[in-house]
Chains A and B, each alone.
Chain A
Amino acid sequence: MPLIEFKKVSKIYKMGSERIKALDEVSFLIEEGDSIAIRGSSGSGKSTIMHLLGFLDQPSSGSIQFEGTEFSSLNSRERAVIRSEKIGFVFQSFNLLPRLSVLENTLLPYVYQRHPESKVLERAHTALNKVGMGNRLNHLPNQLSGGQKQRAAIARALLNNPKIILADEPTGNLDSKTAAMILEIFESLHHEGRTIVLVTHDPLVAGHCHRQMIVKDGKIESMELR
């Protein structure tokens, strides 16, 4: 069974009387352990795909299945539970909560775990060590550099040990050297066996991934194996 399956998924945004077709009958599979880079020009629909993958948004038509469970059969709470247990998000603009320390930000997913697992502090420390932030536990986000913020954000995404990590332009706000280090982290996560989907503009980055999906005008232009 694939981890995620999109079947003829369309997404239409309505803005007043205008209808914007952000995705047009997109179909693809993601297997467990995959790593996929999504590329495409701005406005092509990459973020829309990420939101749908992450159960943050609902398709206008078509079917999305997560481990065989149909998206439309779940209510908003069940979707939230899947987000909390199976999915880790990494954003372009980091999205750390400004009033919480690095450690507290990392612990945030635990707050919304419905079946809290034990040893959460240990897990948080492991995750922070993995991204090289083990020595910045009590810093506030505004005391960190961009690269450090993104490391903390990745640690937060890892806390609940998700099956899949979704990263929408995680290096978009970083200089190339820092970006390379962040990508190394993703690569090592992939080697651990985690499924990774990341949106990027950089063909070099995409080269690190198993597969490359090129999106254009809401359609998949090509899906190529490296």
Chain B
Amino acid sequence: MFWCRIGSGIREIRAHKLRSFLSLFCVMIGVCSLILTLSFMEGLFESYSVMMRELGGLNKITIFNDDVPESQRFFRGIAPQCNLEDVHALSSFKPEVIRVSPEISLDTVITRNGKVFRGKALGCTPEIFEVERVQEDKGRLLKSFDIESSGNVIFLGALAYRDLFSPRESIEGSFVNVNGIPFEVVGKSKYYKVYPEEEEDPYGGSLPKKNKIVYIPLTTVRRKLTSKNDLTSIQIQIRDITQIRETVKAIENIMKITHKGIHNFNIETLEEYVRQFEKIKKGFMIAGFSIGGITLVIGGIGIMNLMLASITERIREIGVRKALGAWDSDIFIQFISESIMLSVLGGGLGLILSIYLIDLLKKIIVEYPPILNYSTLVIGFSFSIIMGVLAGIYPALKATYLDPIEALRYE
């Protein structure tokens, strides 16, 4: 029975192999390109969100020292740099501020057994590991007792470890020299992939690069490595990301009080950066859907063309079916299902092709590889079905409203 109702369509497809293949090919390419673009975007967005997480997330605010503004130049002499008083004042801004991380950044030369690493050492407190989301790979992080005892201990970033140790060498009980002073290595961090090591400073200098940094207790740095007492920067983790503007305002006010009203600091958030990315993301979405959409429309035209040709050839069939008692709706359903059948077939082939292609591309592309989501496959497939319906409507209506007399007379 199936063959009598719509099966003749399948046989029609098989009978015109080249013609059917060409329009199936159009649909296949359309679905495939839609899925590919969506997967590439997915990969990009995924890398982005991993990066955001490893940068410390959006709820991070950084305060830097800045020049005294021109209008306040007479106060240059008395303007304080970021200091522990600021940290103290900021810590008491509860509950908006969760934790405050004071930092002194130093250029250092670190040596061990003739190996050398040049990079930034960060005098810090344990808060930094929470704010920057740094995790240990071996050993342990710096603890508060390291700060209290101002011990000569150091926590290495992954690149420092790589440069100073042989591959897979244990850090246990080992020492390094920082600017000539011996420090015990207590741990090393994970390697963070989203910071490409060859890139100098991709995030406008505002964000430390976790792999390159070594961490030393703040108190130790102040006592043994630098004569300056001032902080380089202060990082703050805030509670409510939706209140970020208000919180930044409040922090600015606190800083103004501790800085005697002098605005010689700079408050940075990732917000601007996020907004930029959202804009780019939107652009990508539009571009991706346009590319996919256009190719799908081409596929739709292919199907519509095939259906129109098929209907012209099968005009008698339509007449016969009507003479045998087919309702208009039967004819419509028959031809719309043929169109959907074609698009499902083409869409299915497109799915298979895209799965293989993405698998292949994943192996080739290292940075931002495409990510194939289940939902992307569903979107691609539904698009092809929708397209099959849309492309089929006109030909099916044409068949439906064919006058049976004309259809039978047609010689």
Residues of A within 8 A of B (CB): 51, 54, 56-57, 76-77, 80-81, 83-85, 89, 91, 93, 95, 97, 99-100, 104, 107-113, 156
Contact = CB atoms under 8 A, between A and B. Distances in A.
B322 A56 contact: yes
Contacts of A104: 3-4
Contact of B1 (A76, A77, A110): A110
B320 A97 contact: yes
A112 B320 contact: no
Contacts of A84: 324-325
B108 to A, nearest CB: 82
Closest 10 CB pairs of A and B: A84-B325, A112-B325, A99-B11, A99-B8, A83-B325, A109-B324, A95-B320, A111-B4, A112-B326, A89-B323
A83 B411 contact: no
Contacts of A89: 323-324
Majority-rule SS of A interface residues: helix
Nearest to B324: A109
Given A85-B325, A112-B326, 9 more contacts: A51-B405, A57-B404, A80-B325, A80-B327, A91-B320, A95-B408, A107-B1, A109-B324, A156-B324
A86 B323 CA distance: 12
Nearest to A156: B324
A99 B14 CA distance: 10
Nearest to A101: B3
Nearest to B403: A57
A165 B22 CA distance: 43
Contacts of B408: 56, 91, 95
24 contacts: A51-B405, A56-B323, A57-B405, A76-B328, A80-B326, A83-B322, A83-B324, A84-B325, A93-B316, A93-B411, A95-B320, A97-B8, A97-B317, A99-B12, A100-B4, A100-B8, A107-B4, A108-B324, A109-B325, A111-B4, A111-B5, A112-B324, A112-B325, A112-B327
B8 A83 contact: no
B321 interface: yes
B364 interface: no
Nearest to A85: B325
A108 B322 CA distance: 11
B54 interface: no
A109 B324 CA distance: 5
Contacts of B405: 51, 56-57
B395 to A, nearest CB: 18
Interface in B127-166: none
B323 A108 contact: no
